[in-house]
Chain A
Amino acid sequence: MVSSETIQAIQARFPSAEITEFRKQFRVCVPREIVHDVLRFLKDECGFTLIIDITCVDYLYYPKAKDRFGVVYIVGRPENADRLIVKTFVNDPEPTLPTVTDLWEGARWLEREVWDMFGIRFEGHANLRRILLPEDFQDHPLRKDYPLQGRGERHNIPVVTRDMG
């Protein structure tokens, strides 16, 4: 578990960060303008050099939610199991965030997946294209307003019969 000195150091450096705790996990909620600075601070000065995950949650139907998308960065220390969750919110119509690929090589595919599934642009990413879905796919299917059964993509696939050879 992350020590309270680290948490105090983050709070002292970034007074606008809201730090909460749940089940012995610390979550640092920061405005989107400073998320890159926070992550750089964690990596360079607090020893969180391991990028574990980057993901996103669409809070469209979430009770009492104020913002649409919450982007979650999970960083850890490579010598033990300490990890910290950094969270920031972005909203329509232009959900963009600065890329963290300059800090972590491992963020490349993780950011591509978030773009693919949620349509959040990472500015400065060298190759932000779809990763799991086809290039010509239009939607971002993990958004809450995208239905479970899709929007007819399957029906548009041409059927090849035996007669057509």
Chain B
Amino acid sequence: MPLQRSELSQATDEVQEYLWTMNFGPQHPATHTTLRLILKLEGERVVDADCDIGYLHSGFEKLAEHLNYNQYVTITDRMNYVSPMANNVAWHLAVEKLMGLEVPPRCQYLRVIVAELARIADHLVCNAAVGLDTGAFTFFMYAFNPREMIYDIFEALCGARFTNSYTRVGGLMYDASPKAIELIREFLRKMPRALDDMDRLLTRNRVFVDRTKGIGVLTKEEAINRGVTGPIARASGVTRDLRKDEPYLAYSDFDFQVCCAQGGDCYARYLVRMAEMRESLKIIHQAVENLPSGPVHVDVGQRAIIPDKWQVHSTIEGLITHFEIIMQNRGFEVPCEEVYCATESPNGELGFYIVGDGSPYAYRARCRPPSFVHFALFPHLIRGHMLGDVVAVLGSLNIIAAELDR
């Protein structure tokens, strides 16, 4: 793509003659994902940046119109692949809102647990990448170690480590086994120590603080005007957290704090993510210790989930439901309506706008990706900073290209 004037560029043509143009990405170790930046430099100072995205565009929203509500969960895994569980939960929450299903308490608690585990995994990766890019390699290793424990838990829950597809319309793929619960308890015991280690390594590290403090400042007004949500907005002083403001699933049962900061710079975003991990641990602890008993699926009569084998073979309702769901021309009962449902994903507000037309396939399933909205901020945040700050800002925005391009 030839270099075009950025939509926010204020430089005149005479000034631009003396500027350097530098290409950054799409294959560069510090972009971490496939995205391209065209930087305009004056010496080492970034005058302007232009974002070129779409390298990972794979038509997820078009696929949603050709896969049924259960099949599409595999595609949501591949959106934000650092925290696929959070996407699974968000997708099926939206589908259930469209259908008017209410999942039983045990399912709600388990979904909260996996969503919060995914949040911890996501924040670990994001902070680790910021540390790595600003020169703290040891910190990266310390952050990736507990992430391994989270993937072990996911493996015990659903058999897959990375692309989980754990949720189903009206329930979950499997109930949590005692082994999985034991792994979660072990994780809760070990994780605070790992977080303390990380804190001691980096939070007061002079090199890291110098490289992130005052870099990429986003004010509260700008954050709101640019549609920013999640930890990036909270680091700028916006107190919006959907878990508190619109308690979906079982979030109203738990005691936790919304973590905010005032700085709005890369350092504030790092601090908010560190604090949020501790709050997530609190939520998981409460959820595991108060995990209700009972089914993880909605009732067989709701005609939403494939019943257990024993139900199919020994009850008439189970047999009918199995038939209704498996047969091609039947399936879910979906109203001809439209619904928007959002969750607080690790990156920000992850929403789905689903249009149902009565068939088991979504007529349109729009994903509101937080990365897409946040990456639009980048030229604004980097302007006036040094070339070396590009990676700090990029890392602190936590851009996941698969979610960016879908």
Interface of A with B (CB < 8 Å)? 22-23, 25, 27, 49-53, 55, 57-58, 62-64, 72, 74, 78-81, 83, 85, 104-110, 113, 117, 126-127, 129-135, 141-142, 148
Chief secondary structure at chain A's binding surface: loop
Known: A49-B225, A62-B363. A80 touches B245 (CB 8 A): yes
Give A49 to B1 CA distance when docked, in angstroms. 34
Partner of B1 from A55, A62, A135, A148 at Cβ < 8 Å: A135
Cβ-defined contact, A108 with B53, below 8 A: no
Which residues 366-406 of B have a CB within 8 angstroms of A?
366, 368, 372-373, 375-376, 405-406
Cβ-defined contact, B224 with A49, below 8 A: yes
Give A52 to B238 CA distance when docked, in angstroms. 14
Cβ-defined contact, B246 with A81, below 8 A: yes
Which residues 221-265 of B have a CB within 8 angstroms of A?
222, 224-229, 233, 238-240, 242, 245-246
Give A126 to B10 CA distance when docked, in angstroms. 13
Cβ-defined contact, A131 with B225, below 8 A: no
Cβ-defined contact, B227 with A52, below 8 A: yes
Q: Which interface residue of A25, A27, A74, A81 has the most chain B CB atoms within 10 A?
A: A81
Cβ-defined contact, A110 with B357, below 8 A: no
Identity of the chain A residue whose Cβ is nearest the Cβ of B5 in the assembled complex = A127
Cβ-defined contact, A109 with B372, below 8 A: yes
Report the minimal beta-carbon distance from B261 to chain A, rounded to whole angstroms: 16
Report the minimal beta-carbon distance from A123 to chain B, rounded to whole angstroms: 16
Chain A hits for B339, CB < 8 A: 22-23, 25
Q: Which interface residue of B57, B225, B339 has the most chain A CB atoms within 10 A?
A: B225
Cβ-defined contact, B376 with A106, below 8 A: yes
Stretch of B22-30, B38-46, B74-82, B347-355 contacting A (4+ beta carbons < 8 Å): B347-355
Give A106 to B376 CA distance when docked, in angstroms. 7
Chain B hits for A85, CB < 8 A: 338, 340
Cβ-defined contact, B54 with A134, below 8 A: yes
Which residues 1-19 of B have a CB within 8 angstroms of A?
1, 4, 7
Tell me if B299 is interfacial: C-beta within 8 Å of chain A: no
Give A74 to B353 CA distance when docked, in angstroms. 10
Report the minimal beta-carbon distance from B70 to chain A, rounded to whole angstroms: 19
Cβ-defined contact, B376 with A108, below 8 A: yes
Identity of the chain A residue whose Cβ is nearest the Cβ of B59 in the assembled complex = A141
Cβ-defined contact, A132 with B376, below 8 A: no
Give A107 to B340 CA distance when docked, in angstroms. 18
Give A115 to B126 CA distance when docked, in angstroms. 31
Known: A53-B340, A110-B227. 6 other contacts (CB 8 A): A23-B97, A23-B337, A27-B338, A51-B225, A110-B373, A133-B54
Give A126 to B6 CA distance when docked, in angstroms. 10
Chain A hits for B337, CB < 8 A: 22-23
Give A53 to B229 CA distance when docked, in angstroms. 12
Give A83 to B405 CA distance when docked, in angstroms. 25
User: Which 9 pairs across A and B sit closest by C-beta, in order of nearness?
Assistant: A106-B227, A81-B246, A127-B7, A81-B245, A106-B226, A132-B54, A109-B376, A55-B366, A53-B368
Give A57 to B363 CA distance when docked, in angstroms. 9
Chain A hits for B336, CB < 8 A: 63-64
Known: A126-B7, A132-B405. A78 touches B238 (CB 8 A): yes
Give A49 to B225 CA distance when docked, in angstroms. 7
Chain B hits for A109, CB < 8 A: 372-373, 375-376
Report the minimal beta-carbon distance from B246 to chain A, rounded to whole angstroms: 3
Partner of B57 from A52, A64, A133 at Cβ < 8 Å: A133
Give A142 to B366 CA distance when docked, in angstroms. 10
